[in-house]
């Protein structure tokens, strides 16, 4: 039963409401099932009612549908067929040791001949440490991550043991988020911190494409854009342009103007005290001025 | 080094007023010594204006430094009042770090 619960989400339930109520569940039972799916706490009466009236029905449905054997594949057209097979095999093995947990295999292993490791994501209610076993990197994610842009991007090419068709990005990417990620990327360039640049730039590109174009990039598209940017000598200029375009396209002019003015003022203050970074601060001021002039 | 020893070292660098936040004691106490030393070195650099702080988009008077060692999932946030004293050093695993960043206006 826990596995069937694992496959469900609220959107899934709501879409199928008329099929489920009253044929299988009463309205009250459906409501409780919804609470359980959303991992809301049930009181004692509800717990007893759930296990007596609902869990048994789920068990029966599960045995008919054989949902425990289901595998969901997204972005199959980009996958190397042998890797897809390997991933499904690996998913089944991991499932045996992690019963009732949502598992997803994603990343370059699925579509790129060369890969560093196999990324496995386990969605858990509890905080757990990530770990590595041979080539497999086990990443634990909280269940609230499912609504995030990061997860939507990740799951565009993946093999999973749960239905991803109903995923929606509920996370709102704020202007502050874009500005602070931009600061961090520029900081990585300043400090020649290439390891962090790769990580921070990846997040920045995903966010910019989402707010600026409404596009959720898959990991393959992202890798190509990232590699292309990283090998360029003038990457800072291109990143500046991406930033200016994304904030202007993704947010209201009034909000953009206020934020830009604040950042310009902050960097002007910083220049006085942190003279060592004067040149770097001037670049950032120029970029915020460009945003300001376009938004006016 | 024990957590209290590290706290004393940090206070010597940035002043007694500094607050320690996050699961500071357990995180710093369990750090490999090399990372502990990196942390102290990083704080010195912050104090000596060798590192570039980031202005918070939400709090005009706040400057923020991020400690991101590549090899562990431990992260730090050192906050400073503009033109004034260091406020707090937050140290925790990256999941809590992300939460703390958002509170300070960093998405």
A chain contacts of residue B46, beta-carbon cutoff 8 Å: none
pLDDT of residue B80: 96
Q: What is the ipTM of this complex?
A: 0.87
Q: Is B84 on the interface with A (CB under 8 A)?
A: no
Backbone conformation region of residue A240, classed left if phi is above 0, alpha if psi is from -120 to 50, else beta: alpha
Give the tens place of pLDDT for each residue, A201-251.
Answer: 999 999 999 999 999 999 999 999 999 999 998 999 999 999 999 999 999
- CB-CB: which of A129, A180, A269 is closest to B57? A180
* Residue A1: pLDDT band with limits 50, 70, 90: very low
DSSP, res B57: S
Q: Which residues pair with B19 in a beta bridge?
A: B88
pTM of the model: 0.80
Which helix H or strand E contains B33, and what residues bound it?
helix B33-47
Interface test with A, best of B27, B38, B42, B54 (most A CBs within 10 A): B54
Contacts of B86 (CB under 8 A, 6+ apart): B14, B15, B17, B18, B46, B47, B78, B79, B80
Q: How far apart are CA A102 and CA A227, in angstroms?
A: 31
- Residue range A238-271, pLDDT digits in tens: 999 999 999 999 999 999 999 999 999 999 999 9
Q: In what order do the strands lie in the sheet with A136-142?
A: A72-74, A158-160, A102-106, A118-124, A136-142, A131-133
The answer to whether the Cβ–Cβ distance between A127 and B95 falls below 8 Å is yes
Give the range of the structural domain holding residue B63, as residue numbers without chain letter: 3-103
Angle between helices A175-190 and A278-295 (to 10 degrees): 150
What distance, in Å, lies between the first and last C-alpha atoms of chain B? 33
Across the interface, do A180 and B54 touch by the CB < 8 Å criterion?
yes
Strand pairing report for B19-21 and B86-93: parallel
> Between A and B, how many CB-CB pairs are < 8 A?
59
Residue-level pLDDT at A163: 85
Residues of chain B with pLDDT under 50: none
Count of structural domains, chain B: 1
Give the model's pLDDT for residue A175.
Answer: 94
Per-residue model confidence as pLDDT tens digits over A98-108: 888 899 999 99
DSSP secondary structure code for residue A280 in this structure: H
């Amino acid at each position: 039963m826990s596995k069937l619960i694992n496959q469900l989400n609220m959107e899934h339930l709501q879409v199928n409401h008329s099929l489920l109520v009253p044929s299988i569940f009463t309205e009250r039972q459906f409501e409780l099932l919804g609470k359980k799916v959303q991992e809301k706490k049930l009181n004692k009466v509800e717990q007893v009612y759930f296990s007596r009236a609902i869990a048994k029905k789920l068990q029966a449905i599960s045995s008919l549908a054989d949902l425990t054997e289901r595998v969901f594949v997204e972005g199959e057209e980009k996958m190397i067929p042998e890797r897809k097979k390997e991933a499904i095999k690996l998913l089944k093995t991991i499932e045996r040791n992690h019963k009732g947990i949502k598992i997803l295999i994603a990343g370059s292993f699925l579509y790129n001949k060369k890969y560093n490791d196999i990324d496995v994501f386990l969605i858990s209610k509890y905080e757990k440490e990530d770990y590595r076993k041979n080539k497999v990197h086990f990443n634990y994610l909280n269940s609230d991550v499912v609504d995030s842009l990061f997860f939507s991007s990740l799951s565009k090419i993946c093999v999973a043991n749960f239905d991803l068709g109903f995923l929606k990005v509920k996370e709102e990417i704020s202007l502050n988020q874009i500005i602070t990620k931009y600061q961090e990327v520029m900081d990585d360039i300043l400090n020649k911190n290439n390891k962090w640049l790769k990580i921070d730039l990846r997040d920045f590109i995903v966010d910019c494409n989402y707010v600026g174009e409404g596009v959720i990039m898959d990991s393959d598209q992202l890798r190509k854009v990232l590699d292309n940017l990283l090998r360029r000598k003038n990457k800072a200029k291109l990143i500046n342009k991406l930033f200016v375009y994304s904030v202007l396209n993704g947010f209201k002019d009034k909000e953009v103007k206020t934020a830009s003015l604040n950042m310009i003022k902050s960097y002007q203050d910083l220049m006085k005290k942190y003279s060592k970074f004067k040149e770097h601060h001037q670049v950032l001021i120029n970029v915020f001025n460009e945003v300001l002039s376009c938004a006016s | 080094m024990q957590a209290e020893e590290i706290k004393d070292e940090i206070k010597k660098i940035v002043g007694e007023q500094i607050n320690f936040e996050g699961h500071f004691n357990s995180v710093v106490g369990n750090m490999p010594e090399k990372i502990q030393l990196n942390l102290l070195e990083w704080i010195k650099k912050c104090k000596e204006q060798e590192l570039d702080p980031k202005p918070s988009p939400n709090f005009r008077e706040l400057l923020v430094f991020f400690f991101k060692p590549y090899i562990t999932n431990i992260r730090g946030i050192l906050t400073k009042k503009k033109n004034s004293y260091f406020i707090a050093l937050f140290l925790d695993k990256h999941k809590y770090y992300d939460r703390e960043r958002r509170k300070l206006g960093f998405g």
